[in-house]
Amino acid sequence: MKKVVIRVLFILLLFAQFLPISLSIAQAEKATLTVYVQDNSGEKLEGIDISVTGPGNYDGTKSTGSEGTASFTELIDGDYVTTINLLTGSNYELVAGESSSKTRTLSAGDTETVYFHLKLKTTDETNGEEEETTGNAEIPTKFYQTGSTTTDISDYTEEQLASIKNFTLHIPDFAKIVFTQSVDLSSKEAIGRLKGLDQYVFLDQKGEVAIASDLMPELNKPATITLYGLNFESLGTGYSPVILKDDNEANSSEVTNVTLTGANTITFDVKGFSAYAVRPTLTFEETELETDQEEFTLEGKIDDLDSEFTVFLNDKRQDSDVTINDDGTFSLTLKLKKGENANIC
């Protein structure tokens, strides 16, 4: 959930003091960056050195573990550069088009990922040319779970792979992508990457979907996205859920035809691929008022009934958890101190 800050103004008449209150609703104070390294068959690679630099002279280095990952935690807001360091004599090299350094912008509470894809250095001893892999187009079984409508291309000819209409990727109860332009997956490079498609296409997180289109450019096409298993409540007439593109609110030219069906399914169209997610939206009964009471009841409404958030007042976390009702409303009683109250930034 994104941080939401509101400012509420109170007056305690008894003491004739203004009490400026800042309420910050957030999930976490630090960010996490997780790096994944695998080869072009999807195998996770252990022992690969990863370095991360960022604000505050941050400079960290770790090696990937048995799952091919390295995590950097307790990161503050800012831009971080992640670099993969392949030693001289390594049997691996970056796949074509892959960059050795990638930048991510982190904010409080973010959990971001960076992927690096490598391949073995294989050459033909007679002419020094790189060997090319061939084979049938195979997609990981996670995209063929019970109830999935993922397009089965295992028996497609090269001609059929060159122009797949309505190509679909679907993980039931999570997300579905239907490409509205023909997709060409006929090249040897594309066929090789399909075997590790779950390292390029991410559909198994509630309320979000992403494709690493810089590494799978064949899928950087217009599409219709459907997100399942949500728990949303309309905030009123004309309400439409907020869709994020790469952690920023998408504009009307990037995302169109946003439709909320019931409370658990959202469908929208996109022009191309990166990362998309649904953002919870908060509204409040009042944002400015006067009171002569030392207690104030914060009332509001949120569209995502599965959300969890914490209220901070004067740099202090409020002990009471916020309970969200079935209609999305919530309330929390806050105790105000005498005199001026410090703002939260």
b/e string for 289-300 if b means 16 or more Cβ within 10 A?
eeeeeeebebeb
Q: How far is CA 42 from CA 120, 194, 198, 247, 342, in A?
A: 12, 9, 8, 26, 51
- Per-residue confidence band for 215, with pLDDT thresholds at 50, 70 and 90: confident
When comparing pLDDT for 91 and 4, which is higher? 91
The most confident of the ranges 12-16, 206-210, 324-328 is 206-210
- Per-residue confidence band for 332, with pLDDT thresholds at 50, 70 and 90: confident
Closest C-alpha among 72, 71, 73, 64 to residue 44: 64
Q: Which range (65-69, 135-139, 272-276) has the least confidence?
A: 135-139
Average pLDDT rounded to a whole number, residues 55-60: 92
Query: CA–CA separation, 57 vs 51, rounded Å?
Result: 13
pLDDT at 292: 65
CB-based contact 204:111 (threshold 8 Å): no
Q: Which range (166-170, 182-186, 214-218, 231-235) has the least confidence?
A: 231-235
CATH level 3 topology of 38-120:
Immunoglobulin-like (2.60.40)
For residue 261, pLDDT over 50 is answered with yes
The set of residues, in sequence order, having a beta carbon less than 8 Å from that of 172 and lying 6+ positions away, is 145, 146, 147, 148, 228
CB-based contact 228:175 (threshold 8 Å): yes
Average pLDDT rounded to a whole number, residues 93-122: 82
Signed CA dihedral, 79, 213, 117, 44: sign only: positive
- Per-residue confidence band for 70, with pLDDT thresholds at 50, 70 and 90: very high
Average pLDDT rounded to a whole number, residues 85-112: 83
CATH number belonging to domain 141-279: 3.30.1610.10
For residue 12, pLDDT over 50 is answered with no
pLDDT at 283: 66
- At which residue do the structure tokens 């003091």 appear? 17
- Per-residue confidence band for 180, with pLDDT thresholds at 50, 70 and 90: very high
For residue 54, pLDDT over 90 is answered with yes
Q: How does the average pLDDT of the chain come out, rounded? A: 77
pLDDT at 60: 93
For residue 13, pLDDT over 70 is answered with no
Q: Give the global pTM.
A: 0.57
Domain boundaries, the chain: 4-28+282-335, 38-120, 141-279
Judged by DSSP in three states, 158 sits in: helix
CB-based contact 94:116 (threshold 8 Å): yes
Judged by DSSP in three states, 335 sits in: strand
Average pLDDT rounded to a whole number, residues 170-177: 94
pLDDT at 4: 39
The reply to whether 38-120 and 141-279 are identical in fold is: no
Query: CA–CA separation, 39 vs 192, rounded Å?
Result: 10
Query: CA–CA separation, 264 vs 232, rounded Å?
Result: 6
- Per-residue confidence band for 225, with pLDDT thresholds at 50, 70 and 90: very high
For residue 189, pLDDT over 80 is answered with yes
Judged by DSSP in three states, 143 sits in: helix
The most confident of the ranges 260-264, 288-292, 317-321 is 260-264
When comparing pLDDT for 79 and 316, which is higher? 79
- Per-residue confidence band for 127, with pLDDT thresholds at 50, 70 and 90: very low
Q: How far is CA 11 from CA 60, 288, 291, 314, in A?
A: 48, 11, 5, 16
Tokens of residue 210, six digits: 């992403």
